[in-house]
Amino acid sequence: MSEIKTHYRNCNICEAMCGLEIKYQGKQILSIKGDKQDPFSAGYMCPKATALQDFYTDKDRLKTPIRRTATGWEDISWDDAFTEIAEQFKKIQTEHGKNALGIYLGNPNAHNLGNALFLKPFMKSLGTINRFSSASTDQMPHHVASNFMLGAGMLIPVPDIDRTDFMLIIGGNPVVSNGSMMTAPNVLGRIKAIQKRGGKVVVVDPRRTRTAKIADQHLFIRPEKDALLLFAMIHCVFDSDKVNLRHLDLMVDGIDDLASIAKEYPPEAVAEFVGIDAQKIRTLAKDMMAADSAVCYSRMGASTQTFGGLCQWLTNVFNIITGNFDRAGGAMFPQPAFDLLRNHKRGYKSSFGQYLSRVRKLPFFNGEFPVATLAEEILTKGEGQIKSLITIAGNPVLSAPSGHKLAQAFKSLDYMVSVDIYLNETTKYANIILPATTGLENSHYDIFFNSFSVRNTVKYSPPLFEKEEYQRSDWQILKEISARMTNTPVDTSSQKITQEITPEIILDMELKNGPYGEQGMSLKKLIDNPHGIDIGPLMPCLAERIKTAEGKVQLLPQLYLDDLPRLNAVMKQSARDKDYPFDLIGRRLVKSHNTWTQNSDRLIKGKNPCTLEIHPEDAKALGIEKGQLILVSSNVGSVEIEAAITDDIQLGVVSMPQGWGHNQKDTNMSVAATQPGVSINDLTDAQRVDTLTGNAALNGTPVAIRAISAISAISVL
């Protein structure tokens, strides 16, 4: 028997960066627990981390490449796979141009050190501008706001949750999601700590979420009306003459014009649409102005909606004019040890709008187009049409709007490759699947999430288990495709050097050249400190980190002003769509992460979580009973789902989980298939986007509902 050993690492599943303590013997995991000595997560972890062992041992997980043939999938060697892929990609690009090859990057790329470092050169080597990612079903409006207001898309303000006296959470459920664009392990504990020190937490959400339940106040809001609420709050700040920029006084451009714009949005004018009393809006703004420190944090619900761009802009504006920007207890800026902005000069030009998408003319940003337009870029004939695609760690058939239509588009491709660990709803359309190592087989360092973290810490984890000789890491796969696409002979000495550049070499160099380099930060130091190193709380640093040309915060970038007529039009519309009278929103579940963790038995066992939440009064009016099968339809599709009746959801709104729908044939996630659920993105409409940023409007999808099982089937129409 080999001896029992302990390994320390960060969990790579979500953004929270929880430290884990893993006991193992040989190749067998004995336990996974929160690492009490991790200076950031201090022993906290959620139930998903335990499943890291299931992903490691999963029999369905692919480990060597497979190729689709007329009679099914066959094994293929790595060398043959790379040869075929390079040949096919080159052929298509020669015949139809570089942009005939599309790339889709999914969420796990952000949680993978190698991919974070090697995707850029990889994409460059393919030479296509047709790049897409899950960012445009998620946080793109945050990047656009940072780009235009602060000069860098990656300079993200994060709520200083550990010191604030008042936290307003709009469209986020961090008690379940563990925070997003706010890396904060154990959000529940951190929220309770706000309350314990006499502070207050208010949640604005169309659903009484677990976060709302522990908050001091929950305000139900009509979906997609957050920009009006934020404007009304900004109006209140000017109205009470409480604008206070504090240390940013000489650093903010546009404050005078803002006053006259905000005049147009008194709480009384927006209340009816927002669904929150004018007096309550005034009190909320007043309480936040009165607090020693306060912060407004808005997330998915405020981003993946038709006004996502305006919401993230106005969130920043509110924090700035209340004196809560770049200040303890407000919205602050991390200073990560690996600083993605290290080489960015002030005034550098971003790629926003550098190109417009071919078919729908949506903006290119952060090096990519919105995924909401991917299907039509594949299906619309003409110069620049996408004929071939590579997906890397993404499952857009389940995760992107109108995913079922995207599946049809994938079927029409000349050639498709997926770098993924499963044969799933997306990868089943690939000609070749290249499986990567994952989780415990990889080393780990959170390049992105340290940039969004509520505290400056730093940690590196080596792989727990060395990969088998026949396995490849994601970054090795990317490098190999690049080498073959650029015809770089593998045996020249210069290529040998590039081949040998590992993520660790780059990481070490960045740490040494980074902000803490002079204090001895290096990979070796991190290896010597396996629980991680605490650098300290966030410090005011905007004056040094801002990247606008003049070093000033831009309060009123023109593109937001140009979008206001669209917002104002909302106040003239009638609230209800006649054919699709309900607003559909998504929800996240504690025990699943997007579409891919459902192949762990321990995470999916129990009763079906994929239900449609509906308010009791709506259910009564439609004759819907608990557990009844419901047909939910939108203008793009329909699904059948079980009803769950609860007054946690607002009247006129229904909610279903995102990331489900493992009921498709020709996939191989046998555990997930036992509790498949249905896909919310068979209902969401790829044509519904925030036109400012191109971000998908996943929330607020108009739907109709009807009971379809024998008892009391009454149509809503």
Ligand X SMILES: Nc1nc2c(c(=O)[nH]1)N[C@H]1C(S)=C(S)[C@@H](COP(=O)(O)OP(=O)(O)OC[C@H]3O[C@@H](n4cnc5c(=O)[nH]c(N)nc54)[C@H](O)[C@@H]3O)O[C@H]1N2
Q: Which residues bind Mo ion (CB under 5 A)?
A: 138
CA dihedral 518, 532, 181, 590 (to 10 degrees): 180
281 lines the binding site for ligand X (CB under 6 A): no
Pinpoint the alpha helices (H) of 460-575.
474-485, 493-500, 503-513, 523-528, 542-545, 558-562, 564-570
Residue 153: name its binding partner from ligand X, ligand SF4, Mo ion, none (Cβ under 5 to 8 Å by kind).
none
Rounded to a whole number of angstroms, the CA Rg of the chain reads: 25
**Does residue 389 interact with ligand SF4 by CB under 6 A?**
no
Q: Count of H helices and E strands in the chain?
A: 25, 26
Of the candidates 10, 137, 402, 650, which one interacts with ligand X according to CB under 6 A? Answer: 137
DSSP character string of 625-678: -TT-EEEEE-SS-EEEEEEEE-TTB-TTEEEEESS-----TT---TTGGGS---
Count of beta carbons in the 10 Å neighbourhood of residue 441: 18
Q: Which of residues 292-331 bind ligand X (CB under 6 A)?
A: 299-302, 305
Contact between 658 and ligand X by CB under 6 A: the answer reads: yes
Q: Strand 533-537 and strand 455-458: pairing?
A: antiparallel
Binder among 100, 321, 393, 506 for ligand X (CB under 6 A): 393
Stretch touching ligand X by CB under 6 A, among 71-79, 107-115, 361-369, 612-620: 107-115
269-277, 499-507, 545-553, 696-704 -> range binding ligand X (CB under 6 A):
696-704
Distances from the Cα of 588 to the Cα of 176, 205, 392, angstroms: 7, 14, 23
Residue position matching structure tokens 């803002």 = 258
Residue 227 half-sphere exposure, CB side, CA atoms within 13 Å? 26
Interacting residues of 197 by C-beta distance below 8 A, sequence separation 6+: 165
Q: Are 195 and 201 in contact (CB under 8 A)?
A: yes
Rounded to 5 degrees, what angle do the CA atoms 694, 697, 700 make?
160
Residue 16 touching ligand SF4 (CB under 6 A)? yes
138 or 474: whose CB is closer to Mo ion?
138
Q: Does 422 bind ligand X (CB under 6 A)?
A: yes
CB-CB neighbours of 494 under 10 Å: 9
- Comparing CB distances to ligand X, the nearer of 473 and 522 is 473
Q: Which of 14, 123, 375, 546 binds ligand SF4 (CB under 6 A)?
A: 14
What is the x/- site pattern for ligand X, positions 492-531, by CB under 6 A? ----------------------------------------
Q: What are the two backbone dihedrals, phi and then psi, of residue 397, each rounded to the nearest 5 degrees?
A: -60, -30
State which of residues 22, 46, 167, 289 lies at the interface with ligand SF4 (CB under 6 A): 46
> Per CB under 6 A, does 201 bind ligand SF4?
no
CB-nearer residue toward ligand X: 54 or 474: 474
**Between 99 and 173, whose beta carbon lies closer to ligand X?**
173
Per CB under 6 A, contacts with ligand X among 565-594 are 585-590, 592-594
State in angstroms the smallest separation of the CB of 8 from Mo ion: 26
The site partner of 422 among ligand SF4, ligand X, Mo ion, none (C-beta below 5 to 8 Å per kind) is ligand X
Q: Is 178 in the site for ligand SF4 (CB under 6 A)?
A: yes
Token pair, residue 246, equals 């504090």
Measured distance CA(203)–CA(218) in Å, rounded: 5
- Return the structure tokens found at 94: 């020669």
Q: Report if residue 204 touches ligand X, rule: CB under 6 A.
A: yes
Binding region for ligand X (CB under 6 A) out of 258-266, 314-322, 416-424, 537-545: 416-424
**Among ligand SF4, ligand X, Mo ion, none, what does residue 131 contact (CB within 5–8 Å per kind)?**
none
Q: Name 214's Cβ contacts closer than 8 Å, sequence gap at least 6.
A: 175, 188, 191, 192, 201
Residue 677 interacts, among Mo ion, ligand X, ligand SF4, none and using kind-specific CB cut-offs from 5 to 8 Å, with none
**Token pair for 79:** 């060398």
Q: Say whether residue 126 binds ligand SF4 (CB under 6 A).
A: no
| Residue 184 in contact with ligand SF4, rule: CB under 6 A | no
Distance (Å) of CA 439 to CA 669, 693, 711: 17, 32, 46
| Under rule CB under 6 A, residue 49 binds ligand SF4 | yes
Evaluate whether 690 touches 306 at the Cβ level (below 8 Å): yes
The residues that touch ligand X, with contacts defined as CB under 6 A, are 14, 106-108, 112, 134, 137-138, 170-174, 176-178, 180, 204-207, 209, 221, 223-224, 226, 299-302, 305, 392-396, 399, 419-422, 424, 436, 438, 474, 585-590, 592-596, 658-659, 680-681, 684, 698-700
The residues that touch ligand SF4, with contacts defined as CB under 6 A, are 11, 13-14, 16-18, 45-46, 48-49, 178, 185
